Amino acid sequence: MRGFLELRGRTTTVSADEREDKLAIAEVIQNWVLWRDGGNFKALRGTFHKDATMTSTWFSGPAEDFIARAEGRKNRWRTLALWIIAATFIGILFAVRQL
């Protein structure tokens, strides 16, 4: 099943699988900051693969080190934060890797 996506006045077709992939990626992107700030570090770890890296305004390096530092910083954050989840653009590139 194919759907249609309106983007800048142009209509393009999107497969159902690609649409589901994009929705799943958007959900992770939108939840990771809530999990980090809410102290749900188990869920946060689930958003990264084992060799992932992370870059933010205060950190750049392995994702596991980012999570460890975030755990140490959690008491510095306000208990109530207001987050605005804006539109998310996700492009999926398929790469074939020879094993």
* Domain that residue 56 falls in: 2-76
- Within a domain: residue 82? no
Q: For the chain, where are the E strands, in sequence order?
A: 2-7, 10-15, 53-55, 60-62
Residue 58 DSSP one-character state: S
Cα dist. 28→6, 7, 52, 94 in Å? 23, 23, 14, 19
Which segment, 38-47, 79-88, 89-98, is predicted with the most confidence on average? 38-47
Mean pLDDT taken over the chain:
76
* pTM, 2 dp: 0.60
Q: Residue 44 — pLDDT band, cuts 50, 70, 90? A: very high
- Within a domain: residue 84? no
- Within a domain: residue 85? no
- Within a domain: residue 93? no
Please report the pLDDT score of residue 83 as a whole number. Answer: 60
Host H or E run for residue 20? helix 16-38
Structural domain count of the chain: 1
